Structure 1
Amino acid sequence: MTEIFDNIRKLYRFYAPENELADYIEFFSESSASETHRYVANNTFSIRMFPSWTPTMYINLGEPYVIDVGTKSYQIQKHTDVLILRNNIVERHNLPTDSIFTIKFFPGGLEAVLGINQVQFVDQVVNLEMLLPEWLIRRVKQPICFEERINLLQQYFLNQYQLQRKSDHYRQFVSSTIGTFDDSGMVLKTGQLADRLYATSKTINRYFRRVIGIPPKQHLSMVRIRAALTGYVTHRNQFFPDAYGYYDMSHFYKDVVRFTGKKLRESL
C-alpha cells in the first residue's frame, strides 16, 4: 500500500487533538485488528510513505516488523519503540499481527511540545526511550484501550508543552510562513514570503533549517506536491494545476516524478 495513492488510514483508528496540542500533533492512531484482517487477511503487507519531515513515534503493541528508511532496513523488535523524522521515503513491512500506536507531529511540533529539535534525527531510527520516560511507554503498552492510551499521552504532552511555550518563537514563525505560502495559492517564493512577514530571506532560511532541518524552498515544494497529488488522486476530473501554483500539467507531472520516483501513470 502506498500513501496518497492508497487509503492506508483504513487500517487504523484515529484521533486528532482538539486542545492546545492541535497545532503540534496531527494525530494519534492505533492499528485496528478487525480492519487489518478485512483488508489483508493473513497476508504480509507493507506501507510506503513519502517524505513529510513530520516526526513520528511508533509504539509497538504487536510483533516485530521491518522498516526501511531511505536505503537502510531496520528490524524493530517486539519490545522496541522508535521515532523517525520521515525526511526520506519510509516503508514499513508488516505481518497480519501488526499492531502499532502512532503519534505524528507536525514539522516543529516535537520541539514545541517536548523541547526536542527534530533536525538531529535526519535519516535515523531513534529509540523512543531517548525521548519519552520509560514509565510512560510501559503504561501505554499495557493492555488498555485506545482512549486510555490517548489520555495518558495527551496529559504528558500538555504538561511538557506548558514548560516549552516561552521558547516557541522559531516554530511559530515557520508555521506562519507555511500558512502564508498556502494562502497565496502556493506560488510565493522565499523572498516574497519574507516581504509578507517583514523578515529577510536569510532569516526565513535560518529558521526553517533550525526548526525543520531543510531550506524553505525545499520544504514548501514538498508541501505543494503532497497537496496537489492528494487533490489529483481524490478528484482527478476536477484537478487544476494552477490551484497549487503549477503552470500546467507538465509542470505538475515533473514534480510528481521528482517526489515519488515514478511517473503518475505507474502509480495509479
Structure 2
Amino acid sequence: MTEIFENIKKLYRFYAPAGELADFIEFFAESSAEETYRHVANSRFTIKMFPSWTPTCYLNLGPPYQLTVGPNRYAIQPNTDVLILRNTIVERFNLPTDSIFTIKFYPGGLEAILGISQLPLINKVVRLETALPASLIQRVKQANQFEERIALLEHFFLEQYRLHKKADHYRTFVANTIGTFEASGLVLSPSQLADRLFATSRTINRYFHRVVGTSPKHYLSQVRIRAALLDYVADRKGFLCEAYGYYDMSHFYKDVVKFTGQKVGQAQ
C-alpha cells in the first residue's frame, strides 16, 4: 500500500492530541487487527511513505518486521522500538499479525517537547531509548488499551514540554513560515516568504536547516507536491495544477516523479 495513492490510515486507530501538545504532535496511532484483516486478510503487505521531515516513533507491540529507510533495510525485532525522521522514502514490510504503535511529531516538535534536535536523525534509524526512558517505553507496551498508552505518553510529554518550555525563536519562525506558505496557496518562494516575514533569505535558510534539517526550498516543495498529489488522486478530472503554482501538467508530473520515485500511472 502506498501513501497518498491509497488510504493507509484505514489500517490504524488514530488520536490527535489537543491543548499544548497539538502544535508539536500530529497523531498517535496503533495497528487495528480487525481493519488489517478486513483489508489485507492473511497476506503480507507493505506500507510505503513519502518524505515528510516528521520525527516518527515506532513501538513494536507484535512480531518482527522489516523497515526500509532510503537504500537501507533494517530487521526490527519484537523488543526493538525505533525513531526515524522520514526525510526520505520509508517502507515497512508487514504481516497481518503485526502490531505497531506510532507517534508522529511535526517538524521541530521533538525539540520543543524533549529538547532533541531532529538533525542527527537524518538518514538514520535509532533506538527509541535514545529519546524516551526505557521504563516509559515498557509501561506503554505493557498497557492493555490504546487509550492507556496515549494517557501515559501525553502525561510524560506534557511534563517534558513544560520543563523545556521557552521562547523558541527558531522553531516559531519556521512554523510561521510554513503557515504563511500554506495560507498563500503553496505558491510563494522562500525569498517571497522572507519578505513577508521581514527577514532575509539567508535567515530563513539558516533557520530551516537548524530546525527541519533541510533548506526551505526543499521542504516547502515537498509540502506543495504532497498537497497537490492528494488533490489529484482525490479528483483527477477536476484537478488544476495551476492552483499549486505548476506551469502545466508536465511540470506537475515531473515533480511527482521527483517526490515519489515513480510515475503517476505506476500507482494506478
| TM-score using structure 1 length | 0.98
Which residue is 1:51 aligned to?
51
User: What's the CA shift for 1:167?
Assistant: 4.7
Residue-by-residue CA offset, 1:123-148 (whole Å, 9 max, x unaligned): 11010011001111010000410001
Contact 2:85 2:124 in 1 (8 A): yes
> CA separation in 1, counterparts of 2:245 and 2:156?
40
Any residues of structure 2 matched to 1:16-31 within 5 Å, and which? 16-31=16-31
Q: Which runs of 5+ in 1 are unaligned?
A: none
Which residue is 1:80 aligned to?
80
1:67 partner amino acid: L
User: What's the CA shift for 1:237?
Assistant: 2.4
**Aligned with 1:178: secondary structure?**
helix
2:61 is equivalent to residue 61 of structure 1 = yes
Q: Which runs of 5+ in 2 are unaligned?
A: none
User: What's the CA shift for 1:59?
Assistant: 0.4
Moved more, 63-72 or 177-186: 177-186
1:201 partner amino acid: S
> CA separation in 2, counterparts of 1:204 and 1:140?
38
Which residue is 1:212 aligned to?
212
Residue-by-residue CA offset, 1:150-171 (whole Å, 9 max, x unaligned): 0110111111111222152211
**Aligned with 1:166: secondary structure?**
coil
| TM-score using structure 2 length | 0.98
Any residues of structure 2 matched to 1:1-268 within 5 Å, and which? 1-268=1-268
2:180 partner amino acid: T
RMSD of Structure 2 on Structure 1 (CA): 0.9
**Aligned with 2:165: secondary structure?**
helix
Moved more, 244-253 or 58-67: 244-253
Name the % identity. Answer: 67
> CA separation in 2, counterparts of 1:43 and 1:250?
37
> CA separation in 1, counterparts of 2:68 and 2:95?
15
Contact 2:15 2:28 in 1 (8 A): yes
> CA separation in 2, counterparts of 1:188 and 1:124?
31
2:235 partner amino acid: H
> CA separation in 2, counterparts of 1:38 and 1:77?
25
2:11 partner amino acid: L
> CA separation in 2, counterparts of 1:159 and 1:46?
36
Would you say how many aligned residue pairs link Structure 1 and Structure 2? 268
1:34 partner amino acid: E
Residue-by-residue CA offset, 1:184-215 (whole Å, 9 max, x unaligned): 11111111111100111111000000001000
Structure 1 residues 186 and 9: CA distance shift in structure 2, 3 A? same
Contact 2:69 2:91 in 1 (8 A): yes
Contact 2:108 2:212 in 1 (8 A): yes
> CA separation in 2, counterparts of 1:257 and 1:40?
27
**Aligned with 1:238: secondary structure?**
coil
User: What's the CA shift for 1:236?
Assistant: 1.8
Contact 2:143 2:149 in 1 (8 A): no
1:51 partner amino acid: P
> CA separation in 1, counterparts of 2:30 and 2:97?
13
2:166 partner amino acid: K
Contact 2:68 2:74 in 1 (8 A): yes
> CA separation in 2, counterparts of 1:112 and 1:245?
32
Residue-by-residue CA offset, 1:15-64 (whole Å, 9 max, x unaligned): 00111111111100000011111111111111001111100000000001
